[in-house]
A and B are shown apart, each in its own frame.
Chain A
């Protein structure tokens, strides 16, 4: 078991010449829930994409699960790292069941039908996301929240020990967002799975993350244990907002309260 789920050293990336990451270095611990936080366009999604090999870096080294990214074959990497991107797309006539089975691609035999293991993994993923009863629906017939859960089920069916999620709480109401994060915590604690999650809601990050990375303008301003990183000073300087971090009775983690743009 490698000590780090991913290591980035001096990674630079750009989109059509516009810089997105300017020489970031990161060590992400294994068996933890890591949250990427930061303002829009600060490079957190790009960092996730380069870590999964979806975007080619201009310079720098990346290793994932103890091996340089370039040394992984597509299927082997898929067995190690699953990822749900920000706006995944599938044809509207695809059923939930068929979508989830697509998560099994890296495990399936080339000529045979789904194995018992494939069927079991899909069944478990549907169950844990509460999509079992909707499995025969086409994805066009789902609500926004159900659709998001269907994609999460597909990502889980891949059975990878490391999972990257780019804003997975998008389209989810508060209750379903908490449910998803509870599920992530359960998978992390019970099955030792590692997560990297891009999260906009700082309170969600405060509550669920073991480790937080703060991004600002393509650079990493802080990386470490959640409560060491999410401080009043750090949050107000990275987001440019006025905020207080308060400890409430009965909660093991503090909450972040903000009341607008920082003045002066």
Chain B
């Protein structure tokens, strides 16, 4: 770790890579568009046709992947600090699957025979938040009621158990629920950014815009939480309140992302680790670095998902692990040598 390099400069590689992949992801599709045409369409200098393809068709999907990746990665970073366990993530703790349960119940209760929702689709994120909070809250309540032993390990174990329960409920709801919703529901199992609209992009952007100043204000508290709870408390951290609001923020970020792209796994787990190795977890902009890494993973995964076997589109969630896992392994092995 060389403290001489300013934190902002450390962001450059991942930011540069994200810009490149974004341009590539906009250019690649049923009709290929070279990077210079993508850029001129983005800045409004391209032919009308290009601008329609870029702005109407491809940009929402690309931006949705970028925003969802950032939200899930941030949720993962918050959870890892609150739980004090590098294994914590929205999917491990059952929060992602809890959100999926909320969404499926919402679809089940509020759609008619004609496959139309009887209420506005804008209520869907709320259903996701309710599902995610229920499962996240259950995990914490069980861990708190279980006295003694390693609290942070307990949270992970209860999380794994409840995540499995939520997955089972999702599967049952798909099989037992209305048939006409089944295919739509399936996408929430693995996650997809395929059905992106500007509406989704705006909701998610709004969620992140609300989260940003909050996270900036909690940056010192988050850093303090790496200490054992007693040391953190004696330095002046209002421990229980901080843990509660950060947990609530992680649940909300997960729920908003899941409501729009489904339960994309693995991002929340690996993005904070990758950011830690590349950037340093005690430098400023660690959260920003985590968010950018999450964006990069989901965007790359989606790009692969639609180019591996065209015209078939694979679920994005299935590919986040394909992109993230090798990178994660590489960094773990490299990190092991570095520390030896």
Q: Which residue numbers of A lie inside 8 Å of B, CB to CB? A: 16, 49, 52-54, 73-75, 77-79, 81-85, 87-91, 93-95, 98, 102-103, 105-106, 108, 110-111, 113, 136, 138, 140, 158
Closest Cβ of chain B to A166, distance in Å, is 10
A79 touches B236 (CB 8 A): yes
Contact indicator A110/B235 (Cβ below 8 Å): no
* CB 8 Å contact bits of B218-259 with A (1 = contact, 0 = none): 001001101110110111111100000000000000000000
B105-147 vs A: 1/0 string, CB under 8 Å? 0000000000000000000000000000000000000000001
A54 adjacent to B230 (CB under 8 Å): yes
Residue of A nearest to B228 (CB): A89
Question: What are 19 inter-chain pairs, A to B, with CB distance below 8 A?
Answer: A16-B148, A54-B233, A54-B234, A74-B238, A75-B238, A78-B236, A88-B228, A89-B227, A89-B228, A90-B228, A93-B281, A95-B3, A95-B282, A102-B227, A103-B235, A105-B236, A110-B217, A113-B284, A138-B1
Asked if A105 meets B147 with Cβ closer than 8 Å, knowing A88-B228, A110-B217, A136-B3, the reply is no
B206 an interface residue at 8 Å Cβ cutoff?
no
Q: Which of A73, A74, A90, A140 has the most CB of B within 10 A?
A: A74
Count of residues in B whose CB is under 8 Å from the partner chain: 25
CA of A78 to CA of B339, assembled, Å: 34
Measured between C-beta atoms, what is the minimum distance from A110 to chain B in Å?
5
- In contact, A111 and B216 (Cβ under 8 angstroms): yes
Residue contact A88 to B231, C-beta cutoff 8 Å: yes
CB distance from A115 to the nearest CB of B (A): 13
A90 and B224 contacting across the interface, CB-CB below 8 Å: no
**Total contacts A to B, CB within 8 angstroms?**
76
- Residues on the A chain within 8 Å of B230, using CB: 49, 54, 85, 88
> If the complex has contacts A98-B282, A113-B284, A138-B1, are A78 and B234 also in contact, measured as CB distance less than 8 A?
yes
In B1-45, the 8 Å CB interface with A consists of: 1, 3
Contacts of A87 in B (CB 8 A): 228
- A79: chain B residues at CB < 8 Å are 236
Question: Which 8 pairs between the two chains have the least Cβ-Cβ distance?
Answer: A78-B236, A106-B236, A89-B228, A83-B234, A105-B235, A75-B236, A74-B238, A88-B231
- Out of B1, B216, B217, B237, name the residue touching A105 (CB < 8 Å): B237
Task: Give A74 to B233 CA distance when docked, in angstroms.
Answer: 8
Report B289-340 residues with CB < 8 Å from chain A CB: 339
Closest to A77 in B: B236
Give the docked Cα–Cα distance between A106 and B232 (Å): 11
- What is the distance, in angstroms, from A153's C-beta to the closest C-beta of chain B? 13
B residues near A, CB below 8 A?
A: 1, 3, 147-148, 216-217, 220, 223-224, 226-228, 230-231, 233-239, 281-282, 284, 339
Q: In the assembled complex, which residues on chain A have CB atoms less than 8 Å from the CB atom of B238?
A: 73-75
B235–A93 contact, CB under 8 A? no
Name the B residues within 8 Å of A75 (CB-CB).
Answer: 236, 238
CA distance A184 to B82 in the complex (A): 34
Contacts of A74 in B (CB 8 A): 233, 236-239
In whole angstroms, what is the CA distance A84 to B226 when docked?
A: 16
Residue of B nearest to A113 (CB): B284
* Residues on the A chain within 8 Å of B234, using CB: 52, 54, 78, 81-85
Interchain CA distance A91-B43 in the complex, whole Å: 45
| Most chain B CB neighbours (cut-off 10 Å) among A82, A93, A110, A113 | A93
CA distance A84 to B234 in the complex (A): 8
Q: How far is the CA of A48 from the CA of B230 in the complex (A)?
A: 12
Residue of B228, B282, B339 with most partner-chain A CB within 10 A: B282
What CA separation (Å) do A73 and B237 show in the bound complex? 10
Minimum CB distance partner of B226 in chain A: A91
Instruction: Tell me, rounded to whole Å, the shortest Cβ–Cβ distance linking B38 to chain A.
Output: 37
Contact of B217 among A49, A111, A158 (CB under 8 A): A111
Q: How far is the CA of A140 from the CA of B148 in the complex (A)?
A: 27
| Chain A minimum-CB-distance residue to B280 | A93
What B residues does A49 contact at CB under 8 A?
A: 230
Residues in B neighbouring A88, C-beta threshold 8 A:
227-228, 230-231
B233 / chain A contacts, CB cutoff of 8 Å: 53-54, 74
Q: How far is the CB of B198 from chain A (nearest CB, A)?
A: 32
**Residues B223 and A102 in contact, CB atoms below 8 Å apart:** yes
Chain A residues lying within 8 Å of B148, measured Cβ to Cβ, are 16
CA A139 – CA B160 in complex, angstroms?
Answer: 32
Give chain A residues whose Cβ lies under 8 Å from the Cβ of B226. 90-91, 94
Shortest distance between the CB of B87 and any CB in chain A (Å): 14
Residues of B within 8 A of A136 (CB): 3
Contacts of A85 in B (CB 8 A): 228, 230-231, 234
How many Å from the CB of A45 to the closest CB on chain B?
11
- Most chain A CB within 10 A, of B147, B223, B230, is at B230
How far is B237's CA from A83's CA once the two chains are assembled, in angstroms? 13
Return the chain B residue nearest A155 by Cβ.
Answer: B234
Report the Cα distance A78→B224, complex, angstroms.
13
| Max chain B C-beta neighbours (<10 A), residue from A79, A91, A138 | A91
Chain B residues with CB under 8 A of A94:
226, 282
CA–CA, A105 and B217, complex, Å? 13
